[in-house]
Each structure stands twice: as structure tokens, then as C-alpha cells.
Amino acid sequence: MPQVAITMPQLGESIAEATIVKFLVQPGDTVEVDQEIIEVETNKATMGVTTLCGGTITTFHVEEGVSYAVGTQLGIIEATEEEVQATGVSPIDSNTAAPEKNEQELIERTLSHGDNPAIAQQSQMDVPDSISIQPNVQGLPVPVGTKGANYISPRMRARMDELGLHAADISAIQGNGAGGRVTIEDLEAFLVGIEEWPKSKASPMRLAVADAMRRSWTRPLATVGMPVVLDKVLAHRREQNPKPGLTLYILRAFALALKEDPTSAGYLIGENIVHPKAFDIGVAVQVADGVVVPVIRNADAKTVPQLSAEYAELVEKARERKLGKETFEKGIATVTNFGTFGLVSGTPIPLPNETLILGLGAGVKKPVWSDEANVFIPVTTCELVITFDHRVVDGGGAGMLLQKIRDYLQQPEKL
Amino acid sequence: MSLTYIEAIHQAQKELLAESPDVFIYGQDVGQFGGAFKATRGLSDEFPGRVVDSPISEDAMAGMVIGAAVEGARPILEMQFADFSSVAFNQIVNQAATHYYRTGVQVPLTVRLPSGGTPGSGPFHSQNMESLYAHYPGLIVVTPATVADAYGMLKEAVMMDNPVMFCEHKFLYNWLRAEELKKNALPIGQARIVRSGKHATVVTYSAMVHEAVKAAEMLSNDGWEIEVVDLRSVKPIDLDTIMASVSRTGRLLALGESYPWGGVTAEVVSRVVAEGFHLLDAAPMRLNSKDTPVPYHPDLWAAHRPTPESIVVSLKHLLRL
Amino acid sequence: MLQTDDAESLAQIHHGFRSMVTSRTLENKLSSLYKAGKIVGGVYLGKGQEAISAALGTVLERGKDVYAPLIRDQAGRTAFGEDLLDVTRTYLGKVTGPMRGRDGNIHRGRPTEGMPAMISHLGASLSYISGMLFARRMRGELHDAIGAATFGDGATSTGAFHEGLNLAAVEKLPVITLVVNNRFAYSTPNDRQFACENLVSRAEGYGVRGHHVDGTDFLKCMETMNIAAKAARAGEGPQLVVADVLRLCGHGEHDDAKYVPKNLWDESRDCMDVAEQQLLEKGFLTPDEIAAMKEDARLKVQKAVAVAQREPTPDPYQDDWSALGS
């Protein structure tokens, strides 16, 4: 026969539970519809719990003198099919007929608004699946882009602005936030940690270089290199008066090579490549605590001997820090002769507004086998390297560019 | 034909009465006297029995027009001052605003609220109620800033089937004048770009639109281009236009004449931050009146509400000048 | 006096009494459903007020008049023609009911059928009803229709009640304002609610006609309501009817009303008993007819409950969460 639940009613707004005072009937008793069968008491009043239909009380799950939450199943009435039809009550599913006296369940029943399946369903949906979502921020999954130190929250950024820090400055910090984020606490702990270390103030020049390098480093940079024989250039140089710097030959060869393929010095902005307007090539000059890059204008248009005096003066003034701001602007590529420091190889970084930088290693005398003379002969070689923005130029293109420069350097009279 | 803001309201009401026998006007002194601000001058003679003086009973006045609206009338309830609608608050927010949701029956009611301060009006004849009413589900809240909108939006409001709180600004009543009455206005629910710019967006409504434009003009001398958005209706709020503007400028100042705690400006900031955090170059700002009752003395009053000067200060802060 | 040989009057009395019986039967059932945990929220009954409530509902004509009942007006609602299913569906929060689960218990109505759905703020319905009548009069559609709004003693203390009655008086609208003084506003007794001798004395202050009646006397209630309605229909403006009763239940079914002094209970009489006795004495109904009426009510109530119980509740995922119409 259908079983109908006897339920603890909601006896007033904000009433969460009521105490069983007395059973007015006993299991086995026959009851009528609307009969008061249990006396209960809230902090507001004493009431009788009534039946939804007539039938036989089969069981009470509860005890006198004990409080139960609103919605608790207090007992069961067994009713006839005819009675269920006449009163319109919903019999309980036999699978769920026997409730456990489980406090947690009672609370959940109350929270899920009793028997309303839609709200109960919603409550279940609100519970995050803590197994599949790891880690989480306030119960929400962390999108991919926010993982790791590359996500800097506005709060973190504000603190960094206050401290004059950049993203690169905090790369040393292992983040403890959600998804490995660096939090304010991580940052403060890091700053406390470095307090005892000796420190000095970075010069404006140092900071300017740092800023330029940081900005440049946001791009995918790659470096390739190639050995170049310098003997012909060195011979040509010895014949000149005054003698031009070796760097100037390289710069001139670079300019002519770029003129043949200007796109390789192009700058990628959005979907466009911005082409060079003039072959203005910069030269890196080491100065106290930094590097400056004055620019030789129209390096494709004048020969090395013609440029020699201008170049010497430019380098001299750069070292003395006497050049105006405009001298450093609008270059399309740069040459750096790190060979002057005895370095044979390196991976220079282009200026942030340029795609290419050409580096020149120290000249080295090497024995090279000569098929004609059938002996080793001594030649002077150096490593020529080029770093490029891989978005614009590929390794092959950079190699072609180096080959062209090498070829020009074998014909110094054309320079 | 030149027309003031209050004359536009008069004109709209006159046309509404003529066009629909369902329309009537109810309020204190609206009959023979023609209303405290003359919004109904001459209308009770022209439309006998449909422009009716009420007792000083804001609660019952509101309840009465709600009942009439349920019966199919399209009442216009004139509150003598927006401030006094607090007495009718229960009827408006509990009776009118819940009516459709609860019963499925709409309440085509328009409540005219002479809002905002004028010099010397003091604490009880100067308040702006739009934020309070906008808080309640079931109400439309409009805040016309121009003569054309005062006319066009009132005509639209009265013919709407939802209850509309029509916040008309007393400072604009006679100060604002238009040479012609444009009748192809935007519909309620759409904001309007009053002035375009690229450096910052001011989102505002009602009389503050004019103060914002003055501030924008002051800043334009220094090369700053400030975009001014007139919400026109604060509920529904045209988030699309706001977001489009902020995406252009990256900076937001939400400006309103009402009190600063919560309200329309807070809503604007909250929505922009929630949906367009990534569009912002600077923390969005709000500028409202001071957090005191509206003072009586003209000098205090002028300093209580946002002024072009204080708007410029806020904008400079927003632009980090 | 009521013309007892008048067929129409007799029909009225039968209708009123049947409404009382149905109301009491229904309210007992609602109380039981509440105490069995089937009703969420509150259950507010009109026990002891059926006679005056039914009298008002009876003199009003559905489809013509407008009626704003309050929380203890089941009898009046039934007399006015409210479907029992509207009651059970609303109490059980069914989506099929007029309030669709959006509002519950006594907050139900069909405003376009002359019965607004009350809000909880007492006194607010008086101006609402006045507005309905005003709109009809403005459009020349009032004819001899009237309106009615009911209140308890507590509601007379609100500003809305005062404003509403004054407004109705100023506009001379045909509104029956029924005040059922049931001695307690929730738990507050009359002497903490008002200081005048009798609430009907306020009629003079408003410039309206006042009627005072023993609310437990069914035939007197019918007579008074007929007089008030006739006056209102005749264009005599608002009618203030004050009926004295004792609330024979708690404020709601969660309230056992322990604060009501025992002597009041003992001295009180139940209008149901009085009405039954009156109708038997006058020969308007036989004991068998009354018994049949009660059984009919029981079956109708049982059916309304059974039908509603089987119907769906609103689905939060499907409901239209819009507070504005198109």
C-alpha cells in the first residue's frame, strides 16, 4: 500500500526546528485525514501536526522530548490507493522511505527547501567539484592565461608601480598564489629577503639600457653566426689615411646588403611590415655604465673613406656624451663590435625599435689550408653574428644576409 | 517656435490628453492653479475631469493612480516635488513595481518627479530619487536632460505599459530652451553620446549632462577630448553605449547629482568594471553630491552638487594630470 | 429589515451562508495542511469573521464591482466568486495558480476580474480600489458599480488608511470601507491601537456615512451590508462599516494566541453557530439542507486540495525572471 510521510511542518517564519511533546496516536493506530497526531512545540507556540490523509500509522522515526528540523520525516502513514487519489497526496518512493537520523541530512533537506527538486538540484550544482578543478580561486577555475608569474593582478601591478618594479624584476619570485601566481605577500617576502644584500643605485644610463633591453626582449629573438675572412679588409684599411675603423667596413657592408633586401630590416606592427625609409645604421658605443647607439645616416650612399671622418667624430662625441637626442633616433639596424673586448662570439640584442643587430667578434689568426699552394697559410677571421626578430626574419634569411655581408667584405674597394 | 523644458512637458501632457481618453493627470494643485511649476497650466479647462486636484496624500495619490492604471487608464501622477514621493514610496515600490510580476497585470503609470536642486530650495525640495527607484525591480526610471527628451520621453513613458518614474530636473525647467521640438527622439533605454572624445568618458544624466559638457569644454582648451554620455534612462541602463565609449577612451567618470552612497553612478562603475575590466587604463571614478542633505544657502548648494570645476578636477585626476 | 419573503434576499442569505461554510471548511483544511508540513510560509485564517466577510462578498457583484479583501476574508472571497482552486494552488505554491508561485497564501487575486492581490502593507488597498472606480467614472463606465476594501482594527492606524478614506471621501467614490475590529492586531489589543470609543465615530471626521454592526450576527451583517451597498450605489459616497468580532484563531497558524485573555474566549460566540441557529429558527434552511451544504463544502475542498497537490510547482530554470512586461 502507498506510504505517506508525516513531516515536521514549518510552524512560523524563521522557525528551524520544533520539539516533539507528545504522540497523540501510536503505530498501528488508524487515523483520519486532518487528524492531529503529534503535539510539537516551537519557541513561539504549541501546535498539533496533522495527517495529509487517512490510514494506519506504521512507524514514528522520532522520539518525544527531542527537537527535529523543519522538513524532517517524523513517521509514515500507510494509506489506501483510494485515499491517496481522493486527497491528492504524493506517496513516498519506497527506496527513500526509511530515513536515517542523520543530522547532516536534515540540515541539507532544510537548506534545499524540503522537497522542491529544482532547488535541491540547484544546491547540488553549487557545490564545486574539488577533484577536477585544481587549483581554484574562490571556487572558480583559473583560466590558463592567469597561471604562473605572467599574470600580474591589478593589485600586484599597483604595488609594483609603487616600488618601480617591472615584470622582469619579479621573475626570481616563486609564486605561492592560485595557479602559481606571485602574490603581494610573495613580493613583500622577496623584498625583505634581499634587504640584507649590498645594494647600489642604478645610474640613469643603466636604467635606460635596462628599459630598452626589457622592451626588446618581449620579442622572439634568434641569433646565427658565420666566420668571415678579414685579410682583404685589413689590407684595404692599411692603405687609407686616416685609417677607418673596422666597424665602419662592417657597417657599410651591412647597409649595402640591407639595400638589396630591405624587408629583412622591416618592423612588424600588427599585420603590416614597416619598411626602412633610409639606410641609417647605428653603431653601439660602450660608454661609462652603458651603451649608446649613434646613427650614421644614409650609410648606403657614402663610401668608407667618405664616412671615415664623420664616423670617428661620432664615436668620439658619443664617448664624451656630447651627442643630441636626434643622433640616436630612427636607425633601422645596429652594428656592435664586441670584438674590441676580445670576445670572439656573442648574442647581441637589437634595439627595441629595430629588427636586426649585427655583431662582430675579435679577429683571430688561423691556419687555413690552401689548395693552390698546397700548404697552410695564415688568415685573419672573425665571427660575424646577427640577431633578428624571428617574427620578421627566418634563420635562412639571416644566413643570406650574412653571406652578402661576407661577400662585400671580400671586395673592400666597393665599400 | 522656442520652448523651455517645462513647456515641453506641458506640451507633451496636452498632446497626451488630446490623443488618449485614458490619460489623466492627478496631483496637488494641478487643476485650476496649473501646478506648482505650471506644467498643467490651462489643461483642466481644456480637459474637464481629467486634470484633477488631489488632497495632500502622496500615499493615497499613488495608490489611486495604480488602481486606475489597472483598470486601463494611463495616469500621470505629478508629485509636487520628487522629495515628497518618499511618502508614496510604499505604493510605488511595493504596489506598482511588484504588480506585473505578481499578478501578470501591468500598471501603465507615469509618476512625474520634479527633481534636483535649485538655489535656495533646501533639504526637502531638492532631492534626486532615481537611484532609490532604480533599485526596485519592476520600475522604469528615466532622467531627461534635454527639452526634446523631456517632451519625447514623457510621451513615450505615458504610453508604456510599465510604471515609469519620470525624473524631470527643476533646474532645467526654465533655464533650458530649444528652438524646435525634435520629435524623432531615441527610445527610452538608449543612451546618447552628447559629445565625442577619446581621452575619457563621462557617463551622466539629467542636469549633470550640461555640467559635464561645460567641464569637457574647459578641458578641451588643453587638448583633452572628453566624451560625454547621457544615459537618458537610468533603468534600463544602456550598457552597450557605455562600454563602447569606455573601450574608446579607457577611462570612466560616472557623474550624478544624487547622494554618493550607492546609486546610479555606483551601478555604472560596477557594471563597467565587471564587464570591461580589461578596457580600463585607470581606476574608474565617481562624482556625486556631498554626503549631506542638500543645503539651503545658494553658496552651500552650489558646492554640494558637482560643478564644472569639480568635474574638471575629477577628470584631471582620472587623466593623471 | 430584510424582507425574508423576498426571493432575492433569501438567495443572498443562502449564498452568504454557503460561503461561510465553504470558507470555514477550507480554512480548517488549510490549517491541517500547514500542520502537516505541506504549506511553506504562513496560513492566515478568518475564523470568527466569516459572517461580515461573507455579507460583503455577497452584496458585491462579480464582473461589475471591485473588491480588495484582506487576510481574513476567505468567506468574502468565496462569496465574491473566487475559485477554490485559486486558493489551494496559491497556498501550495503551484505554477497553475493565479500567482504562479511568485506570491503565496492570502496575497492572491485577479485584478482584471475585480479582485486585486493584496500587498502586506496595511491600508494600501483603499486608494487602489478608489483608483479603479475613479478610472471607470472618468470614462463614463462606472454606472452603479461599487468597490469595497476591508481592514482590521490595526490597519486603521496606518497613514495609508487615513489618506485613502479621505481621498475616497473627497472624490465621493462608492467605496465600502469595511473595518472588522477583531480586538487584536497580531497580539496588540484595541487599547494600544486607538483611543476613540468606537472606530465608527471616525466616519463623521471623514464626512462619510458610518455603520456599526455586531459581526457575529449574520443576518444583521447581511442587512447592514445591503444598506451600505445600496447607499454607495446610489451615489452617496464612501460607507464606513465597522463590525465587532473576536478573532477565533491566532494571527497565523504559527500563533497559538496565548495572549488573548480567557474570559474573552469564554464570552465570545462563533458567527458560524449564530448563523446556523438564525437560519434554522427563521426556517431559511433545514438541518438536512445545512448538513448537505457542509458535505458539499467538504467534497469541494477535498477536490480542490487534491487537484492542486498533483500540480507542478514553478521551475526556477524555466520561470520568466522579468519584473517588467513587454
Q: List, by residue range, all CATH 3.40.50.920 domains of chain B.
A: 192-318
Q: Is the pLDDT of residue B142 over 60?
A: yes
Nearest to C163 among B59, B137, B161 (CB): B59
Q: According to CATH, what is the number of the domain B192-318?
A: 3.40.50.920
Between chains, do C131 and B64 touch, taking CB under 8 Å as contact? Answer: yes
pTM over 0.90: no
Which chain A positions have a beta carbon within 8 Å of C315's beta carbon?
Answer: 118
Is the minimum CB–CB distance between C131 and chain B shorter than 8 Å? yes
Catalytic residue among B125, B199, B210, B304: B125
Question: Of the candidates A154, A331, A163, which has an alpha carbon nearest to the alpha carbon of residue A251?
Answer: A331
Between chains, do B22 and C139 touch, taking CB under 8 Å as contact? Answer: yes
The mean pLDDT values, 10 residues at a time, for chain A of 415 residues are 91 82 95 94 85 94 91 93 92 60 46 45 42 37 42 80 83 79 86 90 88 90 95 91 89 95 91 92 89 92 89 88 86 94 94 95 91 91 96 94 95 90
Say which CATH architecture domain A205-414 belongs to.
2-Layer Sandwich (3.30)
Q: What is d(CA B268, CA A138) in angstroms, rounded to the nearest whole number?
A: 25
Interface of A with C in 34-73 (CB under 8 A): 34, 36, 42, 44-52, 70-71
Q: What is d(CA B110, CA B106) in angstroms, rounded to the nearest whole number?
A: 12
Is the minimum CB–CB distance between C143 and chain B shorter than 8 Å? no
Between chains, do C130 and B66 touch, taking CB under 8 Å as contact? Answer: no
Q: For chain C, which chains pass the contact test of at least 3 CB pairs under 8 Å?
A: A, B
Q: What is the mean pLDDT of residues C150-177?
A: 98
Residue B125 known to be catalytic: yes
Between chains, do C134 and B161 touch, taking CB under 8 Å as contact? Answer: no
Q: Is the pLDDT of residue C7 over 80?
A: no
Question: Of the candidates A95, C224, C131, A395, which has an alpha carbon nearest to the alpha carbon of residue B95?
Answer: C131
Q: What is d(CA A245, CA A251) in angstroms, rounded to the nearest whole number?
A: 10
Which chain B positions have a beta carbon within 8 Å of C127's beta carbon?
Answer: 57, 59-64, 66-67, 91
User: What's the length of chain A?
Assistant: 415
Picking from A6-15, A391-400, B295-304, C97-106, which range would have the lowest pLDDT averaged per residue?
A6-15
At C271 the pLDDT is 98
Nearest to A88 among C37, C41, C305 (CB): C305
CATH topology of domain B3-178: Rossmann fold (3.40.50)
Q: Calculate the CA dihedral of residues C259, C262, C264, C268 and round it to 10 degrees.
A: 120
Nearest to C38 among A36, A52, A116 (CB): A52
* Dihedral pair phi/psi, residue A332, rounded to 5°: -110, -15
pLDDT in tens, C250-268: 999 989 899 999 999 999 9
Q: List, by residue range, all CATH 2.40.50.100 domains of chain A.
A: 3-126
Nearest to A7 among C31, C37, C305 (CB): C37
Comparing B179 with B31, the larger pLDDT belongs to B31
Interface of C with B in 153-192 (CB under 8 A): 159-160, 163-164, 166-167, 170
Q: What is d(CA C293, CA A190) in angstroms, rounded to the nearest whole number?
A: 87
Question: Of the candidates B153, C236, C234, C311, which has an alpha carbon nearest to the alpha carbon of residue A90?
Answer: C311
Say which CATH architecture domain A3-126 belongs to.
Beta Barrel (2.40)
Say which CATH architecture domain C7-309 belongs to.
3-Layer(aba) Sandwich (3.40)
At C92 the pLDDT is 96
Which chain B positions have a beta carbon within 8 Å of C159's beta carbon?
Answer: 59, 87
Which chain C positions have a beta carbon within 8 Å of A44's beta carbon?
Answer: 254-256
Per DSSP bridges, beta strands B164-169 and A290-292 are unpaired
pLDDT in tens, C118-147: 999 999 999 999 999 999 999 999 999 999
Q: Using pLDDT thresholds of 50, 70 and 90, give the confidence band for residue B105.
A: very high
Q: What is d(CA A61, CA C291) in angstroms, rounded to the nearest whole number?
A: 39
Q: For chain B, which chains pass the contact test of at least 3 CB pairs under 8 Å?
A: C
Joined together, the cell numbers standing for residue A176 give: 605561492
Is the minimum CB–CB distance between B86 and chain C shorter than 8 Å? no
At A123 the pLDDT is 43
Place of cell 667618405: A306
pLDDT in tens, C269-312: 999 999 999 999 999 999 999 999 999 999 999 999 999 999 99
Shortest Cα–Cα distance, A107 to chain C (Å): 16
Between chains, do C29 and A116 touch, taking CB under 8 Å as contact? Answer: no
Domain ranges of chain C: 7-309
Which chain A positions have a beta carbon within 8 Å of C41's beta carbon?
Answer: 10, 13
Q: Per the CATH hierarchy, to which homologous superfamily does domain A136-199 belong?
A: E3-binding domain (4.10.320.10)
Between chains, do B57 and C125 touch, taking CB under 8 Å as contact? Answer: no
Between chains, do C254 and A85 touch, taking CB under 8 Å as contact? Answer: no
pLDDT in tens, B28-64: 999 999 999 999 999 999 999 999 999 999 999 999 9
Q: What is d(CA A256, CA A281) in angstroms, rounded to the nearest whole number?
A: 11
Nearest to A45 among C32, C40, C256 (CB): C256
Best of B44, B52, B101 to substitute, by most chain C Cβ atoms within 10 angstroms, is: B101
Q: Using pLDDT thresholds of 50, 70 and 90, give the confidence band for residue B321.
A: low
Q: What is the mean pLDDT of residues C46-65?
A: 97
Q: Is the ipTM of this complex over 0.85?
A: yes
Q: List, by residue range, all CATH 3.40.50.970 domains of chain B.
A: 3-178
CA of C25: which chain A residue's CA is closest?
A: A34
What is the DSSP track for A192-230?
A: HHTTTS---PPPHHHHHHHHHHHHHTTS-EEEEEEEEE-
